[in-house]
């Protein structure tokens, strides 16, 4: 909460904050608390795999917002507005996005928050990658203090401090929602362990230079992998503006070598070329695959070369 305030001017108070066992846990609890049976939740595509299932578990219906690859998977307020119905309860935002790396501008984020607030709709902003925004226009909707009453922010230490296995996430939101999330949490998992809480305090209150350095390194790796992917004939790839994934379109290979879908391509490439990527179907985008570049240039080189050979032989 103090870190978030220092970085984004969000001024959340203690009773508006809860620490959970990872960002996914915070998201899960927030959606269970906010979504009732029959409620609609607007979800931009491509989406991080867990959003859809967690909404369904809460009894909600996902209303998918299709984006345009030619526009870098951009999500605009107008696109969201078109999908609003009397049943809309929540709009999920995830900027920078997993898997596409798309980043919403501060203006677009502000507009979405405003239009949601005018209609009594909640905005849940998943900020897991907020410190891995490469646009130099980093922003959190938490800065829009006058709209806090209809907004939940979900964060994680997994990416910012490379602490995935430690399991520490958080939610920021109105005290009533946070209190309900705390009740749910106290009757299920309880809190993150005290040991991890201490580690989180060290990460959040210590020097933040490591985050700046890691971000700079990810930009270098992003440029490297996108350049390498674009050099493979038949591969199209947008330039991700955040997170640490490339999301190339491999649909030009469908129909070659008996391959009909991204999942088949990814499966065969894993078995035959030993390159692990994630098929786009789970993200709602069957023409794509997700390539993580959270590794070294040497590893990326090996992977790209194997990928190139595998695709050329199809
Ligand atoms: C968009 C997004 N949200 C939430 C999470 C959950 O992160 P964690 O539970 O490790 O904090 C992830 C992890 O990949 C993610 O990509």
pLDDT in tens, 108-135: 999 999 999 999 999 999 999 999 999 9
Q: Retrieve residue 241's tokens.
A: 């503006």
> Is the C-beta atom of 22 inside 6 A of ligand 1?
yes
Residue 54 CA to residue 57 CA, distance in Å, equals 5
At 21-33, the pLDDT tens digits run 999 999 999 999 9
Residue nearest to atom 16 of ligand 1 (CA): 98
Residue 234 CA to residue 252 CA, distance in Å, equals 6
Q: Which residue in 181, 199, 202 sits closest to 190, CA to CA?
A: 181
At 205-230, the pLDDT tens digits run 999 999 999 999 999 999 999 999 99
Write the DSSP string, 197-224.
Answer: HHHHHHHHHS--HHHHHHHHHHHHHHHH
CA distances from 106 to 7, 56, 268 (A): 15, 29, 41
Residue nearest to atom 3 of ligand 1 (CA): 128
> Is the C-beta atom of 97 inside 6 A of ligand 1?
no
Rg (CA), the chain: 20
Residue 60 per-residue DSSP state: -
Write the DSSP string, 278-307.
Answer: EEGGGGT-TTBEEEE--S-HHHHHHHHHHH
Mean pLDDT, residues 148-172: 97
- Ligand 1 centroid from CA 42, angstroms: 19
Q: Retrieve residue 290's tokens.
A: 């997700």
- Ligand 1 centroid from CA 259, angstroms: 30
> Is the C-beta atom of 246 inside 6 A of ligand 1?
no
Residue 293 CA to residue 300 CA, distance in Å, equals 7
Q: 12-16, 23-27, 134-138, 199-203 — which is least confidently predicted?
A: 134-138
> Is the C-beta atom of 48 inside 6 A of ligand 1?
yes
Find out whether 153 and 173 touch, Cβ atoms under 8 Å: yes
Q: Using CA atoms in the order 201, 205, 209, 215, what is the torsion angle rounded to 10 degrees? A: 60
Question: pLDDT at residue 169 above 90?
Answer: yes
Residues above pLDDT 90, as percent of the chain: 96
- Ligand 1 centroid from CA 23, angstroms: 5
Q: Which residue in 69, 71, 70, 75 sits closest to 43, CA to CA?
A: 75
Residue 308 CA to residue 250 CA, distance in Å, equals 12
Question: Cis peptide leading into 46, omega within 30 of 0?
Answer: yes
Find out whether 152 and 124 touch, Cβ atoms under 8 Å: yes
Task: For residue 281, count other CB atoms closer than 10 A to its CB.
Answer: 16
> Is the C-beta atom of 158 inside 6 A of ligand 1?
yes
- Ligand 1 centroid from CA 270, angstroms: 24
* pLDDT, the chain, mean: 96
Residue 267 CA to residue 283 CA, distance in Å, equals 16
- Ligand 1 atom closest to the Cα of residue 94 is 1
Question: With the C-alpha atoms ordered 154, 160, 165, 166, is the resulting torsion angle positive or negative?
Answer: negative
- Ligand 1 centroid from CA 4, angstroms: 17
Question: pLDDT at residue 1 above 90?
Answer: no
pLDDT for the residue 289:
96
pTM of the model: 0.95
Residues above pLDDT 70, as percent of the chain: 100
- Ligand 1 centroid from CA 79, angstroms: 25
User: Which of 20, 21, 24 gets mutated to test ligand 1 (max ligand atoms within 8 A of its CB)?
Assistant: 24
- Ligand 1 centroid from CA 98, angstroms: 9
Q: How confident is the model at residue 278 (pLDDT cuts 50, 70, 90)?
A: very high
| β strands within 22-178, DSSP E | 40-45, 61-66, 88-93, 122-126, 151-156, 169-172
> Is the C-beta atom of 277 inside 6 A of ligand 1?
no
Residue 183 per-residue DSSP state: H
Residue 256 per-residue DSSP state: S
At 32-81, the pLDDT tens digits run 999 999 999 999 999 999 999 999 999 999 999 999 999 999 999 999 99
Question: pLDDT at residue 275 above 90?
Answer: no
User: Which of 102, 158, 171 gets mutated to test ligand 1 (max ligand atoms within 8 A of its CB)?
Assistant: 158
Q: Which residue in 264, 256, 308 sits closest to 289, CA to CA?
A: 264
> Is the C-beta atom of 155 inside 6 A of ligand 1?
no
pLDDT for the residue 136:
86
- Ligand 1 centroid from CA 125, angstroms: 12
Q: Using CA atoms in the order 124, 130, 136, 140, what is the torsion angle rounded to 10 degrees? A: 40
Question: pLDDT at residue 274 above 90?
Answer: yes
Mean pLDDT, residues 157-165: 95
Output phi, psi for 288, to 5 deg: -120, 165
80's enclosing H/E stretch is helix 77-83
Find out whether 140 and 10 touch, Cβ atoms under 8 Å: yes
């Amino acid at each position: 909460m103090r870190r978030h305030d220092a970085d984004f001017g969000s001024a959340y108070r203690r009773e508006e904050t809860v620490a959970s066992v990872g960002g996914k846990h915070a998201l899960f609890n927030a959606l269970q608390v906010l979504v009732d049976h029959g409620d609609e939740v607007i979800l931009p595509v491509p989406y991080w795999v867990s959003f859809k299932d967690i909404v369904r578990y809460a009894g909600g219906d996902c209303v998918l917002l299709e984006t345009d690859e030619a526009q870098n998977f951009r999500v605009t307020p107008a696109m969201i507005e078109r999908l609003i119905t009397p049943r809309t309860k929540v709009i999920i935002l995830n900027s920078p996005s997993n898997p596409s790396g798309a980043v919403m501008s501060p203006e677009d984020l502000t507009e979405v928050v405003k239009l949601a607030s005018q209609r009594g709709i909640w905005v849940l902003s998943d900020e897991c990658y907020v410190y891995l925004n490469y646009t130099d226009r980093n922003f959190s909707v938490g800065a829009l203090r006058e709209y806090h009453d209809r907004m939940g922010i979900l964060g994680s230490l997994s990416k910012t401090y490379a602490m995935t296995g430690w399991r520490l996430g958080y939610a920021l939101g109105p005290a009533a929602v946070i209190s309900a999330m705390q009740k749910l949490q106290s009757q299920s998992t309880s809190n993150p362990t005290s040991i991890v809480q201490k580690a989180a305090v060290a990460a959040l209150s210590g020097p933040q230079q490591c985050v700046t350095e890691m971000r700079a390194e990810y930009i270098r790796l992003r440029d490297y992998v996108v350049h390498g992917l674009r050099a493979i004939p038949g591969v199209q790839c947008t330039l991700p503006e955040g997170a640490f994934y490339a999301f190339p379109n491999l649909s030009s290979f469908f129909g070659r070598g008996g391959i009909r879908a991204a999942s088949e391509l990814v499966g065969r490439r894993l078995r035959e070329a030993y390159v692990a990527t994630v098929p786009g179907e789970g993200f709602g985008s069957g023409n794509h695959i997700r390539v993580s570049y959270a590794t070294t240039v040497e590893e990326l080189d090996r992977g790209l070369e194997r990928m190139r050979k595998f695709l050329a032989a199809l």
